Amino acid sequence: MENILEVENLNKTYAESNFELKNITFSIPYGSIVGFIGENGAGKTSTMGAILGTLKVDNGSIKIFNQEIDYSNEKWKEEVGVVFDHMNFPSNLNIIQISNILSYIYQQWDTEKFFHYIEDFSLPKNDKVGNFSRGMSMKLSIAVALSHNTKLLMLDEATSGLDPKARNEILGVFLEFVKDKNRSILLSSHITSDIEKIADYLIFIKKGKIILQTSKKELLDNYAVIQCASTEVGQIDSRVIVSHRYKAGLLEMLVSDKNTIPATFKIEDNSLDEITLLLMEGDCYEGSHA
């Protein structure tokens, strides 16, 4: 059993908009952090909603912990921690009261672990959470998500309200979480530097479709952004071209194997930021890389 989550051919068309999730297929290996990258409206939250059952899909298969998810029985949710970009706890409660309530909701609520995170994150136990800043709210949501024997952590823009110090601290917690190889994280973020720091695998989604999925190592070692004149494109093996766009009269391309590029071509960049930009703004070649 090597994948904690397997999503296969998920399709969804919203009745109230033209947006579609198209054949979303990916898996999350045990012990890994998967970065889910896409611009606003690409379909990241919809995909997470589909997995959690809050969004009803048209078809597709989702296996968690090696079993098809049974949405009529919520037991599997015990082991799934979820953090969205907003906090869901009643504003008039404090952290002690929230812990008490959650100990009735989650069979495996770990009070000790929870208060350990609360201490680590320097959150006040007796203040009403409604007065928390955005960063404090996110820290609280993350502490909760980590404290019920969680095996799969799903985070949708969960680091976006944090200052650089808090963000680093949380990224360290995430790395620690997957260290024993029995747990995994699916992390959507606009902040590619966070994903670059901790992700093992990357999934890029655009307009409801996965356009590229690969390991971070493969991406940073072998992919590159190059520029050339349109007349030179014939010198490049078309099979390695992932995405392209025209920029200042030149053709800018993302290639999947920089070692196949003739030495006369200049490698412009191979940072995750630049690669993401070209994937999002360029035209992607169908097929081989998703």
Ligand X SMILES: Nc1ncnc2c1ncn2[C@@H]1O[C@H](COP(=O)(O)OP(=O)(O)OP(=O)(O)O)[C@@H](O)[C@H]1O
- Which residues of the chain form contacts with ligand X (CB under 6 A)? 14, 16-17, 19, 38, 40-46
Using left for φ > 0, alpha for ψ between -120 and 50, and beta otherwise, residue 146 falls in: alpha
Q: CB 41 → ligand X: shortest distance, Å?
A: 4
Q: CB 283 → ligand X: shortest distance, Å?
A: 20
Contact 11, 46 (CB under 8 A): no
Helix (H) or strand (E) holding 21: strand 20-29
Measured from the CB atom, the residue of 26 and 106 that comes closer to ligand X is: 26
Contact 57, 10 (CB under 8 A): yes
- Strands across the sheet with 3-13, in order? 67-68, 59-64, 3-13, 20-29, 209-215, 201-206, 33-37, 184-188, 152-156, 80-83
Measured from the CB atom, the residue of 45 and 150 that comes closer to ligand X is: 45
200, 169, 148, 156: which is closest to 30 by C-alpha? Answer: 200
Measured from the CB atom, the residue of 19 and 265 that comes closer to ligand X is: 19
Q: CB 207 → ligand X: shortest distance, Å?
A: 9
Measured from the CB atom, the residue of 41 and 90 that comes closer to ligand X is: 41
Measured from the CB atom, the residue of 47 and 137 that comes closer to ligand X is: 47
Q: CB 208 → ligand X: shortest distance, Å?
A: 7
CA distance 201 to 284: 20
Measured from the CB atom, the residue of 150 and 188 that comes closer to ligand X is: 188
Q: CB 196 → ligand X: shortest distance, Å?
A: 18
- For 255, what's the count of Cα atoms within 13 Å in the CB-facing half-sphere? 26
Other Cβ atoms less than 10 A from the Cβ of 143: the count is 26
259, 284, 137, 148: which is closest to 205 by C-alpha? Answer: 284
CA distance 41 to 43: 6
254, 251, 240: which is closest to 287 by C-alpha? Answer: 240
Q: CB 21 → ligand X: shortest distance, Å?
A: 8
Measured from the CB atom, the residue of 38 and 148 that comes closer to ligand X is: 38
Q: CB 142 → ligand X: shortest distance, Å?
A: 18
